[in-house]
């Protein structure tokens, strides 16, 4: 993987790296928004915090799944 | 009841265990460098070796000793039939019974030792992941028969022992996941939901232990879990499920024709996303921890170690959390798909045209 000398190989690896970075960025943005709205809702209604926490975790896991789709694709580019 | 001595012992035990997790990776990379005398440390190769399946179970290596458990190789090819032998026969580019192994792929060789591409080799070996699967299956059976025996023994009394640990978890899966998502018919699906929840959780945790195998990070394993979910959803789909998929009520006719292929593809992509989500989460976690350890060898300096071990420790705790979350999310989404399959006609959003 580190021994490729052709420009195309190098560009593919660079693309994979940038893709994984963008996926991480998008996941961070999305889960940040979920986290912020969850914390705000808990501040409004502390008694419902259990349900809100559960909903937050589910939404975060779903978004993370999508981001990891991107990471898996980038891994496939980089390693194959 | 946790006395001061108990707390101290627990703290020491946890510290030692977290160090041991990294020690095994370090020792292994020392062996890699022994093989190629002066070659550059290849972090990608080290990481892939730890994540991928293997025909032998490698625990640790010192400068002169390799703590490896050779696992049986079971191959079938048309000319030679079934061959069963230990993988220790194939180490160091050895040839045995006309077979050779290269990068965990077994191929047939002719008399001169070159690869014979015409012979198709079917590999049914007990690899590291298969052995880990068998071990975790035995562990699950042991734990849950102990829990079930607890219910027989404590009939009418308060729960005790391992039963009291698993009862709230099982009740949580039943009340928060099954009943909420599936509704009144949840009992049929409870065995499967509990099985995948504890199977995924136990295997995620076992993969994080030193010397553990990365079972749920193997896409074939998660593929089978997803296929099982898909099969159960499709078999249990009642009339309303199929009507919603093929001929969605409540939308105008041209839209229905467009929605039909989308929904059919959706039937496939939902288990597909289950598969990718679990595989990618667990594999990515392992890759991150291995990368931090690999940094030490890349820089060839011991001073990276505090940083690596610190971040690695934090990531390992995060991975413990992710192990539980991924099991929970897989079970929850599976329950949601079951719920949509057995949902009765309770909505009032259908049009009156039919």
Which one is the CATH code of A11-79: 2.70.98.10, 1.20.20.10, 1.10.510.10, 2.60.40.10? 1.20.20.10
What is the value of pTM for the model shown? 0.82
The chain B residue lying nearest A1, using CA atoms, is B44
**Within this chain, do residues B179 and B226 fall inside the same structural domain, yes or no?**
yes
CB B201 within 8 A of CB B172: no
Q: Give the per-residue pLDDT at A56.
A: 92
Q: Give the per-residue pLDDT at A5.
A: 65
Q: Give the per-residue pLDDT at B30.
A: 42
**Within this chain, do residues B238 and B103 fall inside the same structural domain, yes or no?**
no
Identify the domain containing residue B167 by its residue range.
128-342
Contacts of B93 (CB under 8 A, 6+ apart): B100, B102
pLDDT tens digit at each of 354 positions of chain B: 567 888 887 777 776 655 544 434 443 444 444 454 446 788 888 888 888 888 888 888 787 888 888 888 888 888 888 888 888 888 888 888 888 888 888 888 877 777 777 888 888 889 999 999 999 999 999 999 999 988 888 888 888 888 889 999 999 999 989 998 888 889 999 999 999 999 999 999 999 998 888 899 999 999 999 999 999 999 988 888 888 888 877 888 888 888 888 888 989 999 999 999 999 999 989 999 998 888 888 888 888 889 889 999 999 999 999 999 999 999 999 999 999 898 887 654 455 444
The whole-angstrom separation of Cα B330 and Cα B340 is 15
**Within this chain, do residues B282 and B264 fall inside the same structural domain, yes or no?**
yes
Give domain status of residue B41, yes or no.
no
Nearest residue, CB atoms, A64 vs list B176, B279, B281: B281
Q: Give the per-residue pLDDT at B17.
A: 58
Asked if B318 has any chain A CB less than 8 Å from its own CB, the reply is no
Give domain status of residue B101, yes or no.
yes
The chain B residue lying nearest A70, using CA atoms, is B280
**Chain B interface mutation, best of A55, A68, A76, highest count of B Cβ atoms under 10 Å:** A68
**The domain boundary residue, chosen from B93, B123, B153:** B123
A57 and B176: CB-CB below 8 Å? no
Q: Give the per-residue pLDDT at B206.
A: 93
**Within this chain, do residues B136 and B231 fall inside the same structural domain, yes or no?**
yes
Q: Give the per-residue pLDDT at B22.
A: 43
Q: Give the per-residue pLDDT at A37.
A: 95
Give domain status of residue B79, yes or no.
yes
**Chain A interface mutation, best of B272, B284, B290, highest count of A Cβ atoms under 10 Å:** B284
Give domain status of residue B20, yes or no.
no
Min Cα distance B54 → chain A (Å) is 18
Q: Give the per-residue pLDDT at B229.
A: 95
**Within this chain, do residues B225 and B88 fall inside the same structural domain, yes or no?**
no
**Within this chain, do residues B89 and B139 fall inside the same structural domain, yes or no?**
no
- The count of domains in chain B is 2
The size of the A-B interface in CB pairs under 8 A is 39
Domain ranges of chain A: 11-79
Q: Give the per-residue pLDDT at A36.
A: 96
Give domain status of residue B294, yes or no.
yes
**Chain A interface mutation, best of B180, B219, B277, B283, highest count of A Cβ atoms under 10 Å:** B277
Q: 3-class SS at A2?
A: coil
Give domain status of residue B337, yes or no.
yes
B326 and A61: CB-CB below 8 Å? yes
Give domain status of residue B29, yes or no.
no
Q: Give the per-residue pLDDT at B20.
A: 44
**Within this chain, do residues B153 and B271 fall inside the same structural domain, yes or no?**
yes
**Within this chain, do residues B191 and B211 fall inside the same structural domain, yes or no?**
yes
Q: Give the per-residue pLDDT at B16.
A: 62
Give domain status of residue B327, yes or no.
yes
The interface predicted TM-score (ipTM) is: 0.81
């Amino acid at each position: 993987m580190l021994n490729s000398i052709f420009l195309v190989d190098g560009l593919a690896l660079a693309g994979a790296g940038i893709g994984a970075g963008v996926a991480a960025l998008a996941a961070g943005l999305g889960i940040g928004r979920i986290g912020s709205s969850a914390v705000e809702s808990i501040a409004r209604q502390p008694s419902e915090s259990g349900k809100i926490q559960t909903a937050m975790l589910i939404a975060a896991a779903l978004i993370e799944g999508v981001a990891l789709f991107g990471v898996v694709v980038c891994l496939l580019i980089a390693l194959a | 009841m946790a006395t001061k001595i108990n707390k101290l012992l627990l703290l020491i035990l946890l510290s030692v265990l977290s160090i041991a997790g990294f020690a095994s990776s370090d020792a292994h990379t020392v062996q890699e460098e022994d093989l190629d005398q002066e070659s550059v440390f290849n972090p990608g190769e080290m990481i892939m070796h730890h994540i991928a399946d293997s025909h032998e179970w490698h625990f640790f290596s010192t400068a002169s000793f390799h703590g490896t458990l050779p696992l049986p190789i079971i191959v079938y090819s048309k000319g030679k039939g079934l061959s069963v032998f230990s993988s220790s026969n194939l180490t160091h580019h050895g040839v045995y019974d006309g077979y050779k192994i290269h990068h965990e792929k077994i191929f047939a060789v002719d008399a001169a030792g070159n690869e014979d591409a015409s012979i198709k080799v079917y590999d049914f070996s007990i690899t590291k992941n298969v052995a880990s699967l068998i071990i975790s299956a035995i562990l699950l059976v042991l734990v849950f028969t102990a829990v079930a025996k607890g219910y027989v023994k404590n009939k009418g009394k308060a729960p005790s022992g391992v039963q009291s640990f698993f009862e709230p978890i099982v009740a949580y899966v039943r009340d928060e996941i099954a009943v909420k998502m599936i509704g009144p018919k949840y009992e049929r699906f409870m065995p499967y939901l509990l099985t995948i929840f504890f199977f995924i959780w136990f295997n995620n945790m076992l993969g994080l232990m030193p010397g553990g195998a990365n079972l749920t990070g193997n896409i074939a394993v998660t593929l089978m879990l997803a296929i099982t979910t898909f099969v159960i959803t499709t078999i249990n789909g009642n009339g309303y499920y199929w009507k919603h998929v093929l001929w969605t009520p409540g939308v105008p006719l041209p839209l229905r024709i467009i929605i039909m292929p989308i929904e059919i593809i959706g039937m496939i992509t939902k288990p597909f996303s289950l598969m990718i989500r679990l595989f990618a989460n667990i594999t990515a976690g392992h890759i991150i921890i291995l990368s931090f350890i690999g940094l030490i060898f890349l820089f060839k300096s011991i001073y990276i170690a505090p940083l690596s071990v610190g971040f690695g420790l934090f990531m390992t705790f995060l991975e413990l959390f992710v192990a539980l979350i991924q099991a929970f999310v897989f079970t929850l989404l599976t329950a949601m798909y079951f719920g949509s399959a057995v949902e009765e006609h309770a909505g009032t959003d259908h049009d009156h045209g039919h």
